A and B are shown apart, each in its own frame.
Chain A
Amino acid sequence: MRVLTRGILQENPIFYLVLGICSALAVTTKLENALAMGFAVTFVIVISSALVSLIRKHIPAIIRLASYMIVITSLTTIIVIYFEAFDPAMYRTLGIYLPLVAINCIILGRAEAYASRNTIIPSVLDSLGYAIGYTWVISLVSLIRQLLGTGSITIFDIQILTISYFQPLDFMIRPPGALFTLGVLSGLIAFLRQRRAQSSRRRR
């Protein structure tokens, strides 16, 4: 169970490992974009980790990385085809960042660091944990950006929340807003992490 939760909080891929940042910045303008991206990443990372774990004993060392890349890229291609056919609007919105899931460091990172050395169930749980960790962070970033950048939050075009008398900060939905939000959040998380480490040290 710890295998699963590790990637969600303690070793969160974006805040702690600082991986997968570029898509975190690019697609977080609306909540549903972040969720779609999270879905794509989850699909690729879980299945690739499962496959890597299954074949790990049969891959000679020299072709290890090449094999992992083939698996990951093939899965990414599949999800791209899926999006193009079944959700063309989201496919156009995500644009180039959907195929770029193939080079998302989180995916190859977990395949290399964990799935290649563990059995299938822990590998699946591990990758799922990191996928959840990635998804909740980009969802949070997109909520903040959308709220501060447009004054309201919409889920599938249904308005959930609106702040009146609020002049939207336009830069929030542009790239600087993404860097800003992620930076502030990272700082906040690091601060909380440090405080927790200090207080647990004091208790001992």
Chain B
Amino acid sequence: MGAESDKHGLPLMTRREAIKTVGKLATIALIGAVAPAIVQEYAQEEKDARLRDLLLRMVPGSATVKPVLGENDEALYYEAYDSSGMLVGYVFTTTVYGRNGPISLVGGVDLNYRVTGIEILSQSETPALGARIVEPQFTEQFVGLSTQNLELTTRGGRIHGITGATISSTAVTRAMREKIEEIRKTTS
């Protein structure tokens, strides 16, 4: 290849060389874009499997979950079946606004609409305060409760909110209560 430079300091090359060079860069760029996309496919399988395991954990004894789809093909909630095909409960994910941003959680109820499981998936609440909604000490309280008790103790319910984190505690409690009520209305 020529080692001369034009007045801008860029190398002089023939049109043919220039096209080859651009072609090489384009090829590298193409491969560089496709490779992560391929990995993403495998990663997606893993993420889906992980979500499935999480959903199953929400209702003890469940073996499969089947989504109940809404108008836009999104999963409103899931029906949980045991290994013999009997319905054992319902599982759901929901997102609610906490103090600093969305809190997404997953939960499960049995056929009497009592909570069988809850887990916070993501949140951006204040560390050491609102962020403590992820701790078992808080989430354990929900298990076994029916929606009439899904309120903070300050409002007549059975959930002890986290001291100094009323907004976060209320948000999670409300999210659970409202979603379970929604499922109850659809399935009763």
Contacts and interface: CB of A to CB of B under 8 A. Distances in A.
Contact of A74 (B25, B32, B40): B32
Contacts of B35: 74, 78
A85 B46 contact: yes
Contact of A62 (B21, B42, B46, B47): B21
A60 B44 CA distance: 37
A62 B11 contact: yes
Contacts, number: 51
Nearest to B25: A63
A78 B25 contact: no
Interface size class of A (residues with CB under 8 A): 20 to 34
Contacts of A70: 28-29, 32
A58 interface: yes
A81 B21 contact: no
Interface in A70-120: 70-71, 73-74, 77-78, 81-82, 84-86, 88
A82 B39 contact: yes
Contacts of B42: 85
B28 A85 contact: no
Nearest to B30: A70
A86 B21 CA distance: 38
Contacts of B47: 84-85
Contact of A81 (B17, B25, B39, B50): B39
Interface of A: 58-63, 66-67, 70-71, 73-74, 77-78, 81-82, 84-86, 88
Interface of B: 1, 10-11, 17, 20-21, 24-25, 28-29, 31-33, 35-36, 39-40, 42-44, 46-47, 50
